[in-house]
Structure 1
């Protein structure tokens, strides 16, 4: 369900939909329905799974670690050092320190 989630733009509505789908599957596995009014925490504990939000965060952090370990010559890392012509390094530093241009 979360294959490739490390590259998704994680919005709250997407996370919520994944969470709803996961809970439907877990309820189905346990034999419960919404009418049984069982708490999500109880169902998660019974099945022994972590919340999907934690798994999404874990996969994003793992991917970030992979990217940081890449050599600086790698195409995915080169973008970190692009200097856009309209934003010069000195101007950005002055703005951060509160100086006028």
Structure 2
């Protein structure tokens, strides 16, 4: 199946969405002011009771999984962030 995608030039929609999320997050994280979009990305719920089962995913959970806990620091460096995005999604 992977070979067919490569041959036809069709992108995996999940990979495409994740790549766009990663690019947009780097862009937003480099803003100088405390915009709403930055607060959403870095949001940490407080004293929230959750039902049993799997915990809800936050925006940053995918980034932490892919990049580690240092993603916020790494996103500040545009060239390195772009290089990381390119390297990850060319695999």
Q: Same fold (TM over 0.5)?
A: no
**TM-score where L is the length of structure 1:** 0.32
**TM-score where L is the length of structure 2:** 0.35
